[in-house]
Amino acid sequence: MSLLVVGLSHRTAPLALLERGALTSARCRRLEDRLCLSDHVAEAVVVATCNRLEIYAQVSRFHGGVADVGGGLAEATGIDLAELTDHLYVHYETAAVAHLFTVVCGLDSMAVGEQQILGQVRTAMRAAQETGAVGHALHAVLQHALKVGKRAHAETGLDHAGHSLVEAGLAAAVEHVGPLAGAHVLVVGAGAMSGLAVATAARLGAGRLSVTNRTRERAERLAAGAGGGVVAFDRLPGALAEADVVVSCTGAGGFVIDADLAGRAVARREGRPQVYVDLALPRDVADGVAGLPGVHVVDLEVLGRRLASEAVAADLADVRALVAAEVEAFLAAQRAEAVAPTVVALRALARSVVEAELARLAGRLGDTVDERVRAEIEQAVHRVVEKLLHTPTVRVKQLAGEPGGTGYADALRELFDLDLGAVASVTGVAVGGVR
C-alpha cells in the first residue's frame, strides 16, 4: 500500500469551482466510505476547508487508486470528472508525504503559516477513524504530519511569515473605513471561523462589536467572550446599515447578503464607506454587492492575492528545510518498520533449526550425557546462532533506513526462503508493511 493524494485548492482551481465542490462533514464521511469499498483504496480521509478539497488514501495501485478517487470525488461534488481533471493535482508516495507535511504546516494555505489547518486535519482524521476509514497506515502519517506542523510553529519564524485570513480581511477593511477603534464590526455566523473573527476584531480594538446568527444562543456565547453585543438574525437589515465592517462566514451554502439587502443598508448610511469581508465558501456575499456605491467586498480570492504578495521566501526557508528533514525521517522509519517481519522470520527460522538439531542430538545421546553438560551444549549452540545472526539483522535494519534499503530485506527473504505469512500466523507480527 502507498499514500496517494488527489485534490484541488486555491492554487489550482478558481473560487467558483471550489464553491461548487464544497462538501459538508457528512458528505466527506460518505465519500470516505465509498472510497474504502472501491477496488484499490484501503483507507481514506477527506480534508475539506474553505480553500481546498483533498483526499488522502492508502492505495494498492497508482492508476487504479487515481481512478477510484477521481470517480468518487466527481460523484460526491456533482462536478463532471473531465472538468475536475483540469484542476486536480496528484501526489504519490514520497511526494504525497511531502505535500501533506507542507499543507499541515500552512505553507500551502492562502494565509501562509495559518494554524487553522492543523485543527482541520486533526478533526478530519478523528472523524474518519470513528467510521473505520482511517487505519494504521493513514493514522501514522497523519499523526506525524501534525507533529511536524506543531514543530514548524514552535521552532521557526513561520507565524511571522503571513497573516491569518481574518487579520488580512480586517487590515483590508481599515484601508477603506479607517482605524478599527472608530468602527463598528458585525460578525455574521457563529462557527469556528466566526469565533476567530470575533476574537481577532476584539484584540485589534474594534470600537463596537456585534454578532448575529440564526441560532441566538451560539451568537451570545461568541459575543460574551469578547464583550460584544448580539443582534437577532431577523434584524440583519438594520444591523448591516449600522456596521462599518461586516465579516461573514456562515457556511450557509448560498448567499446570505444579496445586492438588495446590502443596497438598503447603503441607502441608510448616508455615504459612509462600508466593507464586507466574505470568508465563507460557498460565498455569503452576492456578486452585485461590490458594485454598490461606497461598498468594498474582500473575499477569499482577493485575500489570496494579498497574502501571496506578503509572504517572504526567506522567512519560510527554515520551515521548508524542517519539512524535508521530517519527510525523510518518516520514510526511513517506514522502511525500517517494513523489514521487521523479515528479521522476525529469520530469527524464527534459526530458532526452529536449532531446536530440531538439539532434539535430534538428544535422541542420539540419550542418557549418556548428564543434564549440566546437555545444558552447556544447548547454550553454546544458541550463542553461536545469535552471534551469526546479530550483524546481519542489525545491518539490515540500518540499511532499511536508506532509500532503496528494503532491497536488502528482499535478499534475505530470497536467500533463506522465508515465509512471512507463516511467521505472522504463529507470532502475530503484521506483514502489511512489506510490499
Q: Which residues are catalytic?
A: 50
From edge to edge, which strands make up the β-sheet containing 208-213? 229-232, 208-213, 184-188, 245-248, 274-278, 295-298
Nearest to 249 by CA among 161, 185, 308: 185
Contact, 267 vs 297, CB < 8 A?
no
Q: Could you tell me which residues come within 8 angstroms of residue 162 by beta carbon, excluding any fewer than 6 positions away?
A: 106, 109, 111, 112, 113, 114, 307, 310, 311
Distance CA 56, CA 63 (A): 15
Name, in order, each residue with C-beta under 8 angstroms of 23's C-beta and a sequence gap of 6 or more.
31, 46, 48, 53, 76, 77
Amino acid in the structure at residue 75? E
DSSP annotation string for 253-297: SS-SB-HHHHHHHHHHHTT--EEEEE--SS-SB-GGGGGSTTEEE
Element (H, E) at 185: strand 184-188
Q: What is the DSSP string of 134-163?
A: S-HHHHHHHHHHHHHHHHHHHHSSGGGT--
How far is residue 338's CA from residue 346's CA, in Å, rounded to a whole number? 14
Look at the block and give the residue holding cell 462538501. Answer: 23
CA distance 272 to 88: 43
Integer Cα distance of 22 and 42 in angstroms: 24
Rg (CA), the chain: 30
